[in-house]
A and B are shown apart, each in its own frame.
Chain A
Amino acid sequence: MAAPPNAPPHESAEPPPLGQRIFDNVLLLLALGTLIMFVVFTGWGMWEILTMPAATLP
């Protein structure tokens, strides 16, 4: 299953777990962080402002 016991860990034939690979992918994280901000804060916020109805000043 694993590489021979004396081999340094990073030369093992198995790739690290998916979670580790995702966390190691800095550009992916950059994309996700940017996307979430632009949708949840900026996009939604702009939508709220732009769709606000006009005052009737009752």
Chain B
Amino acid sequence: MTAPAASLFRTCRVTGRRIHIQAEWLVKANAVVAVVALLVGATAALLLALTRWQAVHLLPPEWYYRLLGVHGMNMLIFFIIYFEMAVLWFAGTVLLNARPAAPKLGWTNFGLMLAGSLLVEWTQWTGRADVMFTSYPPLKAHPVFYLGVILFAVGALLVVAQFFATILIAKREKTYSGSLPLVVYGAATAAIIAVITLLHGALIYIPTFLWSLGLIPSVDPQIYRMLWWALGHSSQQINVAAMVAIWYLLGGLTVGAAVLNEKVSRWAFVLYILFISLASAHHLLVDPGFSPAWKIVNTSYFMYMAVLASMVHGFTVPAGMELGMRLRGFTQGMFGWLRRAPWGDPGFSALILSIVVFGFFGGITGVTIGTEQINIVAHNTLRVPGHFHATVVSGTAMAFMGATYYLLPLIFRRKVAFWGLAKAQPWLFAIGLLLLETGMTFAGSFGIPRRHWDISFSQAPFDVAINPAVDLFMAMIGIGGIMAVTGALAFILIAVKSVFLGEAVTEIPRGTAMAGIPQGLTNPPVYPPNVDALNQELHAPGRGIAGATPGTLVLVGVFLLAFMVYYFTNWKLLSFLWKIG
């Protein structure tokens, strides 16, 4: 084992961890570009929301459709994947005290991703790719659009490969003992799903690129949709795994969340690895290309095994927080641990908001509209974006924002600027999004289409009578959108100010609150010396079935009830429809 030169690492003065300096730069570079993409996407979002709000109807049609593609690319691909690259560099090195595999290649790959992003951005903004971010043939974009996506995807795939190499080398060099920490296991889950995603991306973008150059005669539209969604939805499952990994990370940092049972949590990640990508099929439930058998087996993540996994994490994440709090003395009643949790810490509030909205709104609507038959009333309506903003934005993006509040002092070594604003930011973002998502979901139930410029149908040959309630829902999209974008811009402002013009952090004195430093770092959660004995006690058979985490059991019970009510109500509503099939 080669001893690394001392100058390659620094020792974190807050956590004592050994941090590889090049890896840290890779984390920072990817995080900064992620925030730039977020800014582009958020600007587009505001203009789109003000257009769908029919009373405002800001953009002309050409620009609405164009910016919709820009919004999709920048948010669902660029922002989120750059941030996930940062997570991989962080999890593989900092959390394992390890060195990155071939850091110079890390920069080459970053450059590849950047080149690809800029090419895509150029084609979209100059109207050479007015095909939405899904780019379904026979709609055709300029070849450089597809080339840009390919370069980005290749760069990302190579970074994922470097992540695997990094964790294997760390194991061999024994920079940590035992099994990977659960957070790193979650990152590895995300990385595995990323491989599945990007392989399918290559399978579809390369022929489509050749077709756009005129080198092959056509791309079958149904095959394209199947392979594209294997890329498109699986990329969202990378987000789910990364988000859950961040939940465990933030839980540990903010309240000393304990891992209830490694086997249970890892089972949930393994079920994700094996089955979660199959549900890309829920985009194809009302497509002609596939049989009901294929649709049912795939949309169900194979008998809902990946949903089981989500329900497991939905329990173990809050239960871990409850246990961590109880072990540190917050034992009053059922929910004392929650009431007395550090709500003033934006890392904590973002964590809770992410879990609650992802679970209750995103998860429940997703499984429901992803049912083969219920999809008939939901496909391509606004219910679809209503669902996925609740998962990707209220869930993943929110979790990433929460993590940033810790990343800034620890990795960028800056205080969080505009601390008062930072504490409010997760709430502003979450509430705006809830309004937006509710507006979309209700409008969608009334049949309002997604990706559509004008529901007054003023240029259509036939009139379309719209229920007046829909105007209210579109206004909710507009106002919720304004609020959510304000929340996103607040986050960007805080991040940019902190990184580039912020106050440096050298030491973090323990014991007193400090503006700009979250409480998990000034008052880190510490277990008492007899914590293992306490843990045994909390798990003693005499405590009955509720065991160590009664509060969480109540919460997940409420969740399950909500799920059942929403799910069966939707079946009932479906039954009133015409007979089909």
Query: Which residues of A approach B to under 8 Å, CB–CB?
Result: 8-10, 19-20, 23-24, 26-27, 29-30, 32-34, 36-37, 40-42, 44-46, 48-49, 52
Contact = CB atoms under 8 A, between A and B. Distances in A.
B192 A29 contact: yes
A38 B277 CA distance: 10
B188 A24 contact: no
5 contacts: A26-B168, A30-B273, A33-B273, A37-B234, A48-B290
B266 A23 contact: yes
Contacts of B298: 40-41, 45
Interface string B190-201: 001101100110
Interface of B: 164, 167-168, 177-180, 188, 192-193, 195-196, 199-200, 220, 222-223, 226-227, 230, 234, 263, 266-267, 270, 273-275, 277-278, 280-281, 289-291, 294, 297-298, 302
B246 to A, nearest CB: 19
B228 to A, nearest CB: 12
A45 B274 contact: no
Contact of B281 (A10, A41, A49, A52): A41
Contacts of A27: 164, 168
A39 to B, nearest CB: 10
B280 to A, nearest CB: 7
A34 B199 contact: yes
Contacts of B177: 8, 10
Contacts of B227: 42
Contacts of B263: 19-20, 23
B195 A30 contact: yes
Contacts of A40: 278, 297-298, 302
Contacts of A49: 220, 222-223, 226, 289-290
Given A30-B195, A48-B294, A10 B275 contact: no
Contacts of B200: 42
Question: 6 nearest interchain CB pairs?
Answer: A33-B273, A30-B192, A37-B277, A45-B226, A49-B289, A29-B273
Q: Which of A8, A20, A41 has the most CB of B within 10 A?
A: A41
Contacts of B266: 23
Given A45-B290, A46-B226, A37 B196 contact: yes
Contacts of A46: 223, 226
A1 B179 CA distance: 23
Contact of A37 (B178, B188, B220, B278): B278
A33 to B, nearest CB: 4
Contacts of A20: 179, 263
A41 B280 contact: yes
A9 B196 CA distance: 35
Contacts of A34: 192, 195-196, 199
Contacts of A52: 289
Contacts of A29: 192, 270, 273-274
A34 to B, nearest CB: 6
A47 B192 CA distance: 25
A41 B230 contact: yes
Interface of B is mostly: helix
A48 B458 CA distance: 41
A37 B230 CA distance: 9
A57 B525 CA distance: 70
Nearest to B193: A33
A26 B278 contact: no
Contacts of A41: 230, 277-278, 280-281, 298
A42 B199 CA distance: 11
A30 B223 CA distance: 25
Contacts of A24: 179-180
B289 A33 contact: no
Contacts of B297: 40
A32 B271 CA distance: 11
A41 B282 CA distance: 11
Q: Which of B196, B226, B263, B270 has the most CB of A within 10 A?
A: B196
A41 B289 CA distance: 13
Given A30-B195, A42-B227, A49-B222, A36 B275 contact: yes
Given A23-B266, A37-B277, 8 more contacts: A27-B168, A29-B270, A33-B277, A34-B192, A41-B281, A41-B298, A49-B222, A52-B289
A26 B230 contact: no
A36 B195 CA distance: 13
Contacts of A8: 177
Contacts of A48: 289-291, 294
B457 to A, nearest CB: 32
Contacts of B195: 30, 34
Nearest to B160: A30
A40 B297 CA distance: 8
Contacts of B274: 29, 32-33, 36
B313 to A, nearest CB: 15
A45 B192 contact: no
Contacts of A44: 294
A26 B188 contact: yes
Nearest to A8: B177
Contacts of A19: 263
B215 to A, nearest CB: 22
A8 B220 CA distance: 59
Nearest to B279: A41
Contacts of B280: 41
A36 B267 CA distance: 17
A36 to B, nearest CB: 6
Contacts of A26: 164, 167-168, 180, 188, 192
A24 B223 CA distance: 35
Q: Which of A8, A36, A45 has the most CB of B within 10 A?
A: A45
